[in-house]
Amino acid sequence: MAGFDASTLSRRVLEGDRRALAQAITLIESSRAEDRRTAKLLLEELVPHSGKSFRLGISGVPGVGKSTFIESLGNYLIDAGHKVAVLAVDPSSAISGGSILGDKTRMERLSQRTEAFIRPSPAGETLGGVARRTRETMLLAEAAGFDIVLVETVGVGQSETTVSQMTDMFLLMLLPAGGDELQGIKRGIVELADMILVNKADGALALTAEKSVTDYRKALMFMHPHAADWEVPVQAFSALNGDQTASAWETVEKFRQSRMEKGLIEGNRASQAKNWMWNEIRNGLVERLRDQPEVAAQVAELEQAVTENRLSPTTAADELMDIFVGK
Amino acid sequence: MAGFDASTLSRRVLEGDRRALAQAITLIESSRAEDRRTAKLLLEELVPHSGKSFRLGISGVPGVGKSTFIESLGNYLIDAGHKVAVLAVDPSSAISGGSILGDKTRMERLSQRTEAFIRPSPAGETLGGVARRTRETMLLAEAAGFDIVLVETVGVGQSETTVSQMTDMFLLMLLPAGGDELQGIKRGIVELADMILVNKADGALALTAEKSVTDYRKALMFMHPHAADWEVPVQAFSALNGDQTASAWETVEKFRQSRMEKGLIEGNRASQAKNWMWNEIRNGLVERLRDQPEVAAQVAELEQAVTENRLSPTTAADELMDIFVGK
């Protein structure tokens, strides 16, 4: 990646050059020291031009039909004049080698349109690392003129929280399910949702889906809403029924409007950015501590002393921090 | 607290001197620099003598009857020859000014017995701070010869996870409830439980409690057990029925035995201690960074730039960390 000039690249990104955008993202995902310096300059130039999109997080377990929904929604939005970026946060992409959205054939039409930009989940050892790169990719896509960003994630562990912390709205997709299985939803994740779609509401599952919509609505009454002034809508959805894409987007627009009128989107983004900075510091400091040779030389011994109950964890932590700051 | 001599105090704690134990805890809870130095020495001397107890975490919403259960269990254990320490982690103790276990009259008999040591939740601005002090208090109580430690917490937010990470077993107390209310349990917290007691299984609620036991058992089938080789028992409990205390403790003993035979208690404690050390580092480093005058002088400006979208949070985080490590 040598020879990249940050200002040329950023100018081309701002002009909406897709190849430049792809190169900029590759630069941001690189861990080479030289690339990281260029990436930093690039971000400094482009971040002030970011933010002019609506950011929609979309979550659901594997098989719920996220790709089909995004294919349908993306095409609908482009037909309506939007430019749509589709990104993903997949915490397992490091382990599995693959990643969600990796298989673009699942979004066959969308991936061929020039108004769409689809980027699979970056690899990374930690969810924090994956999220950072996705978030920065989002900023670049915004600077390149994409005015709708869809961030997909799978329903495992912490990734929903992470995605909800980088988007303006969080849409949860669920499968039609019977009563008992309702208990299988993670309450914390449902509480993040600003909107719920019960997918595959067609064919043999049509009736179950309608029943699920009622059940989920009922379940939501026992939960704390994510946004105090917004009653979380639960809708059935079928990819076979084109009208439902329009109806789903209408609900998204209603949320967006009500939040914008109250100035809540800007406020939410400001606090998200601040939290992100402190999270970066929290993780970054531990990384820097671990990487310091003087600390690294002591870690194993202190961990051993702590696990063998010879030393209090607090004392060991203080010692390592004292070494790190050079006391 | 001036004039405390760490070795005299630690000798007296090891002899089981209750007043010395109380003084040692006060020292550990103090934030004065001089006290913290003495506390550190004290911990260094006492930590190697800690660990010889069984640590039972007990959680449940306010009103579930934790105090009554602990009063009953504590007396039962002392009658059987044990020495019982009762501690608490209450994340709200800083805000409310009060704290759980603060009102010892709720454990009237237990609080008067010399074989019991009851200590309310320490104050603290963060859950991490409260937990650190409680955990260190637990080590001191163990060094003083208490062989059963009960750590109580209320069912709010993160405190259950924190308590489960400092104990050998986690007991969740629930109220008898109808079907719909079952959905009100936080799944993540139920998944921490090694044992569930449905309390107040008497009088008008007796039948509901029996029904709840069945429902909770069924709900558990859809969850991931905390310990892979242990089927989480669900029992009804009534403080009015003395036999049920013995029966509840029998279940605890069964768990303890099965874990001890497999060497799992030591292994679990070793990884808890290591995690604790890294958590201390994670939180401690951010504290040290915030406290550094050079950093403090820049924080407001960088936060502002980040919230106004002039600077990427990653760049701002790097700048603050560079200042901190003196680059």
HEC sequence for A214-282? HHHHHHHCCCCCCCCCCCCCEEECCCCCCHHHHHHHHHHHHHHHHHHHCCHHHHHHHHHHHHHHHHHHH
Range with lowest mean pLDDT among A143-152, A223-232, A299-308, B301-310: A223-232
pLDDT in tens, chain B (327 residues): 445 689 999 999 999 999 999 999 999 988 888 998 899 899 999 999 999 999 999 998 778 889 899 999 999 999 999 999 999 888 766 555 445 665 556 788 898 999 999 998 887 767 777 888 899 999 999 999 999 999 999 865 578 888 999 999 999 998 887 544 554 556 677 778 999 999 988 888 888 888 889 888 887 776 666 667 888 999 999 988 878 999 999 999 999 999 999 989 999 999 999 999 998 999 899 999 999 999 999 999 999 999 998 998 988 999 999 999 986
Torsion angle defined by CA atoms of residues B320, B322, B323 and B327, in that order, rounded to the nearest 10 degrees: -170
Residue A193, classed as helix, strand or coil, is coil
User: What sign results for the dihedral spanned by CA atoms A89, A94, A98, A102?
Assistant: positive
What confidence score (pLDDT) does residue A225 get? 64
Nearest chain A alpha carbon to B185: A187
What confidence score (pLDDT) does residue A156 get? 59
Q: What is the pLDDT of residues A99-123, one digit of tens each?
A: 566 555 678 899 899 999 999 888 7
Which single residue is written with the structure tokens 């019960």?
A198
Nearest chain B alpha carbon to A275: B313
Neighboring chain A residues of B278 at a CB cutoff of 8 Å = 286, 317
- What is the average pLDDT across A199-223? 83
User: What sign results for the dihedral spanned by CA atoms B174, B179, B183, B188?
Assistant: positive
Cβ <8 Å between B188 and A183? no
What confidence score (pLDDT) does residue B251 get? 97
Average pLDDT score over chain A? 87
Question: Which chain B residues in 243-302 lie under 8 Å from chain A, judged by CB atoms?
Answer: 269-271, 273-274, 276-278, 280-282, 284-286, 288-289, 302
What confidence score (pLDDT) does residue B158 get? 77
Structure tokens that stand for A298 in this block: 């002591």
User: What sign results for the dihedral spanned by CA atoms A149, A155, A158, A160?
Assistant: positive
Neighboring chain B residues of A324 at a CB cutoff of 8 Å = 285, 325
Between A82 and B95, the higher pLDDT residue:
A82
Element (H, E) at A318: helix A313-324
Residue among A302, A278, A264 at smallest CA distance from B289: A278
**CA angle (B205, B210, B211) in 5-degree steps:** 95
Which pTM value belongs to this model?
0.73
Nearest chain A alpha carbon to B222: A184
* Bridge partner residues of B236 (DSSP): B198
What confidence score (pLDDT) does residue B185 get? 58
What confidence score (pLDDT) does residue B175 get? 85
What gap in Å lies between CA A190 and CA A232, rounded to an integer? 10
Cβ <8 Å between A312 and B180? no
ipTM of the complex: 0.80
Q: What is the pLDDT of residues A225-252, one digit of tens each?
A: 666 788 899 999 998 887 899 999 999 9
DSSP conformation letters of B253-308: HHHHHHHHHTTHHHHHHHHHHHHHHHHHHHHHHHHHHHH-HHHHHHHHHHHHHHHT
Range with lowest mean pLDDT among A37-41, A56-60, B60-64, B143-147: B60-64
What confidence score (pLDDT) does residue B180 get? 47
pLDDT tier for residue A180 given thresholds of 50, 70 and 90 = very low
- What is the average pLDDT across A93-99? 53
Question: Does A125 score more than 90 pLDDT?
Answer: no
Question: Does A145 score more than 90 pLDDT?
Answer: yes
* Bridge partner residues of A58 (DSSP): A152, A171
Cβ <8 Å between B187 and A182? no
How many C-beta neighbours within 10 Å does residue A114 have?
9
Structure tokens that stand for B283 in this block: 């939180």
Cβ <8 Å between A282 and B284? no
In chain B, DSSP assigns E strands to 54-60, 84-89, 116-118, 148-154, 169-174, 195-198, 234-236
Residue among B105, B66, B96 at smallest CA distance from B237: B66
What confidence score (pLDDT) does residue A278 get? 94
